Structure 1
């Protein structure tokens, strides 16, 4: 659902298929063709260029988006259609436009083919997407931050905190990631786009700068685990100690995103610390409690904000 990609089995024979290109090799300025059925116009093809890569349409939300941007005309009805290069190879799946009118105004967006290929392979093999994480929090380095930290480079991903595989590999807060497996990392969406093509257990080679010195590390990716706490209308994941320190506590689970409007809890301002008056340390604790509840039993959930204040709510099944 986060990428709007589905895998569908078609019972048919002798269908033509499209070869996948390596979307990491797509360059800004390359020609692209967008195929689709806008306005019920069957098999329409429009031409344009790749105008940006690693585009995140909303950096403030929890979705790790990384689209290919094109000025090939994409309209309602193009979604799910192919974005191809001049060799007829798939480089992306058309998924969105930005517009004040609802129609094309020059910007269309596609899920990169490498991401789409990994998603469908995961669904086919595991029944779900195996999402890997590097084990860092951070953001795109800007020139102002580079100047404040006396960095000679103005592009890359600045690390705010480390956990999981990144911590074991020796990465630290303040490091600047510039390459992964030889792929240039200019902004945070470049990093997330590449990592989303990998699986938990894969190892990636990181080039980074620390105190002006270029270094290298091999990081084993870990699994991104989440749990839908449906009764409260939120998706949760485990919280590392750096995140817990923001709330002045040593236990709790992190709210990834709201799933409904059951309760107005800002996801970055609160964590869940107790369920039914029992301390919560990880999502396994949450699963155990929820799996042992009877069908009509109420659930008391305690949230904590960054000032140390706690609020409890009782939810009915």
Structure 2
């Protein structure tokens, strides 16, 4: 695996600084426009062309509301090339690039084209679909690549002038201007990206994904990712992933991680509204009321309980679960975060250790063999790490279907189903599930939990 050099990482993270911004003070400054800024920043923004080969099946039952699921693996598999187009930003002189996961994720071939038309192959060092971020390394790139510095995204204010640089619609590098129109936007961007965003009215169109959102000093404040639109075009509401999260991605890539690990809260909750605030004696709505805690949750360890309210993380207000996880992720694994909480009517600060979800009990992942009633099905024991990955309820236990396999898919099993029993035999772990499937006859009854609903599947093989 190609790894970030410590020198490159130090250069990138040491440049996370607050910008000294000001409005134009003369007609001459207004007439200058953004040309000098664009000239300096544009070489660090690249075009990315990615492709991957997937197998598709052409089924005569496609479109049928019943048979398309029953016979979804029917037909001959044919390889098909899928292409994607987007943008990226060079973050260090040795060719470290950040882009969106939906641009380069699962790609088998990535080409990066610079502003001066030089081309380089690239490989993904670290990618995360949930955050929609990916860190790439240019292959055989020189050590003096143009790059942007990262500004502390917590210093960004609504109303700041910004530029969005990218490759919309594949027409070539384009620059659009606007302002920061909102902060702390969570759960508003469409697609895979879930979390915390900066909002801008600078047009962000298809192909701008992964491009740079810079301030008037040329510092990077966000990675353009999505638009909120009903028509498919830019309606003045775009979203960018803050640079503070990008910095953590670089840190983990430098450590050799190929997937992003975020701290685990092991908690569920809801935003405090006006009615809840009044009942709690709060002077205004804000924060997250804890409704549930996993028995291994680090929040439980420091004394939090259902009914307590988390107001801030490291001094930054949080109003949704996405904001809290973002703040914990920015603080970084292995460190501690100071939680401002309201407990029994008293406000206090508690320090919580930031750790990944524990792998207890062990996953013990198995793939059923040919003698199984449902061969080639992959099962795992549910633990906190699996709960976080699959977004299961905090109290989930048992065996999860990681991959139903060809036969399992035909009988209606889905990825993420929890297998409770086979022909009446309970399956609390993967070993018991494997045994039950081996001894099952031709008539099979599966007890499955899906989305909180209990389902019985009866079929004959």
Whether 2:305 is the aligned partner of 1:172: answer yes
Whether 2:180 is the aligned partner of 1:50: answer yes
CA offsets per residue over residues 253-309 of structure 1, 9 Å max, x none? 6899x9xx9558797xx75445895643xxxx559978xx99xxx999642479995
Distance 1:233 1:60 in 2: 30
Q: What displacement does 1:61 show?
A: 10
SS of residue in 2 equivalent to 1:106: coil
Question: In the alignment, which of 116, 122, 137 is matched to residue 246 of structure 2?
Answer: 116
Whether 2:311 is the aligned partner of 1:187: answer no
**Corresponding position of 1:202:** 335
Distance 1:98 1:198 in 2: 28
- Is the Cα–Cα contact under 8 Å of residues 237 and 255 in structure 1 kept in the other structure? no
Distance 1:288 1:53 in 2: 49
Relative to structure 1, the CA distance from residue 38 to residue 233 in structure 2 (aligned partners, 3 Å threshold; closer, same or farther) is farther
For structure 1, which segment, 129-138 or 145-154, has the greater mean C-alpha deviation from structure 2 after superposition?
145-154
Q: Which runs of 5+ in 1 are unaligned?
A: none
SS of residue in 2 equivalent to 1:95: strand
Listed as ranges, the matches of 1:72-111 within 5 Å are 72-111=202-241
Listed as ranges, the matches of 1:58-69 within 5 Å are 64-69=194-199
Relative to structure 1, the CA distance from residue 5 to residue 272 in structure 2 (aligned partners, 3 Å threshold; closer, same or farther) is same
Whether 2:141 is the aligned partner of 1:12: answer yes
Listed as ranges, the matches of 1:147-296 within 5 Å are 147-163=278-294, 164-224=297-357, 231=377, 238=384, 243-244=394-395, 251-252=397-398, 262=409, 263=412, 271-273=418-420, 277=425, 279-280=427-428, 285-286=429-430
Q: Which runs of 5+ in 2 are unaligned?
A: 1-128, 367-375
Q: What displacement does 1:36 show?
A: 0.6
For structure 1, which segment, 189-198 or 271-280, has the greater mean C-alpha deviation from structure 2 after superposition?
271-280
Distance 2:449 2:282 in 1: 36
Higher helix share: 2
Residue correspondences, number: 296
Q: Once superposed, what is the RMSD of the aligned Cα atoms?
A: 4.3
- Is the Cα–Cα contact under 8 Å of residues 271 and 289 in structure 2 kept in the other structure? yes
TM-score w.r.t. length of structure 2 = 0.54
Relative to structure 1, the CA distance from residue 110 to residue 236 in structure 2 (aligned partners, 3 Å threshold; closer, same or farther) is farther
- Is the Cα–Cα contact under 8 Å of residues 153 and 244 in structure 2 kept in the other structure? yes
